[in-house]
């Protein structure tokens, strides 16, 4: 059977395979109990693969990786890859409503197949099938980002680039009310990016759009690294010695301003020191001229005083002879 070739396992008990493919809408013997068992087997195998593959990742990150790998969307993508929808056994109502395309039905059926393989051939057989499906996925993903959905990755990337968060809008819905497909647009206005995504729910559509938007943002920034930044003319105003000087488009560092300020202060001090000795010298010359004038005046008056003394005072000898 083609499905067994794609699974890489041949059933010893074909009844288990038939039951695993049977939806509850088809008959009372359906796959829900096998789904319960397969979910546990799947979690155990994926946990073991991650434990062996990533020896330096802690428990929290391992749990994040496992949760991402075993979620409905991941199982749905694997189911699509092996074209599982072609082998489902659905009731008439589910067939008419397009149940074979529904992610939940495909994911549940895949888990039921894992449970059936476990019952048919044991844990090692189930582990081999599951590992073969997941290891190629792990080879192409980054464990640091795996487990973070597309919306989270887009938001973190834009925040790191200081770009406003994206906007999501439902632009159209397709299909019947019970099986709608949502078309969602994702906008990044600052980069003029508009992309679309579709999914079985609004959240799935947003995730698909966010994934496309993240790729578009990276491409846009790679082509024009400075596109997200608007160049603004810079005007630097310097205040030196009380005078404002406008210098457009001339970036001036703090050290340049400090140096200029010190230079101005130094020139001011030097000017004061140059003027001070000159003033002192003038004062000294003025004082010297005043002293010299006073000295000359005293010398001119001294002979007159001596003459006056000689005339007015007679000698002692002259008075006695008269």
- Does 39 qualify as catalytic in the annotation? yes
Report the alpha-carbon distance of residue 169 to residue 174 in Å, rounded.
15
Q: Which DSSP state fits 163?
A: -
Report the alpha-carbon distance of residue 237 to residue 34 in Å, rounded.
77
Q: How far is CA 295 from CA 285, 289, 298, 300, in A?
A: 15, 10, 5, 9
Decide: 185 and 171 in contact? Cβ < 8 Å: yes
* Upper half-sphere CA count for residue 132 (Cβ side, 13 Å): 14
Q: How far is CA 170 from CA 59, 177, 257, in A?
A: 37, 15, 55
| Of the candidates 205, 3, 8, the residue with the CA atom closest to the CA atom of residue 106 | 3
Residue 322 structure tokens: 């008269």
DSSP, collapsed to helix, strand or coil, labels residue 13 as coil
| Of the candidates 223, 224, 246, 243, the residue with the CA atom closest to the CA atom of residue 234 | 246
- Spot the catalytic one: 35, 94, 108, 111: 111
Spell out the residues 6+ positions from residue 29 whose beta carbon is closer than 8 angstroms to its own.
19, 22
Report CA dihedral (24, 27, 29, 30) to the nearest 10 degrees: -20
- Spot the catalytic one: 35, 39, 94, 185: 39
Handedness of CA 243, 249, 253, 256 (dihedral sign): negative
C-alpha triplet 122, 125, 126: angle, nearest 5°: 85
DSSP, collapsed to helix, strand or coil, labels residue 118 as helix
Helix (H) or strand (E) holding 199: strand 193-199
- Does 111 qualify as catalytic in the annotation? yes
Catalytic residues: 39, 111
């Amino acid at each position: 059977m083609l499905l067994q070739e794609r699974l890489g396992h041949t059933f010893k008990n074909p009844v288990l395979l038939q039951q695993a493919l049977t939806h509850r809408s088809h008959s009372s013997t359906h796959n829900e109990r096998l789904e319960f068992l397969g979910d546990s087997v799947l979690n155990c195998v994926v946990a073991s693969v991650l434990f062996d593959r990533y020896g330096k990742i802690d428990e929290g990150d391992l749990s994040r990786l496992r949760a991402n790998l075993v979620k409905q969307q991941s199982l749905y993508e694997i189911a699509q890859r092996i074209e599982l929808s072609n082998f489902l056994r659905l009731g008439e109502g589910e067939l008419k409503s397009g149940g074979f395309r529904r992610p939940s039905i495909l994911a549940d059926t895949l888990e039921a197949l894992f449970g059936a393989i476990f019952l048919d051939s044991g844990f090692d057989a189930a582990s081999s099938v599951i590992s073969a499906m997941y290891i190629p996925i792990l080879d192409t993903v980054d464990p640091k980002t795996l487990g973070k959905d597309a919306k989270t990755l887009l938001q973190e990337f834009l925040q790191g680039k200081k770009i406003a968060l994206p906007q999501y809008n439902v632009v159209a819905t397709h299909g019947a009310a019970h099986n709608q497909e949502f078309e969602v647009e994702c906008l990044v206005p600052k980069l003029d990016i508009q992309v679309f995504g579709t999914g079985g729910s609004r959240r799935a559509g947003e995730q698909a759009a966010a994934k496309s938007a993240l790729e578009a943002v990276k491409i846009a920034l790679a082509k024009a690294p400075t596109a997200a930044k608007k160049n603004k003319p810079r005007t630097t105003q310097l205040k030196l010695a009380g005078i404002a000087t406008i210098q457009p488009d001339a970036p001036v560092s703090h050290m340049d301003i400090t140096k200029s300020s010190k230079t101005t202060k130094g020139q001011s001090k030097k000017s004061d020191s140059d003027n001070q000795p000159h003033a002192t010298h003038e004062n000294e010359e003025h004082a010297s001229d005043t002293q010299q004038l006073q000295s000359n005046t005293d010398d001119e008056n001294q002979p007159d005083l001596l003459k006056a003394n000689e005339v007015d005072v007679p000698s002692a000898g002259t008075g006695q002879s008269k």
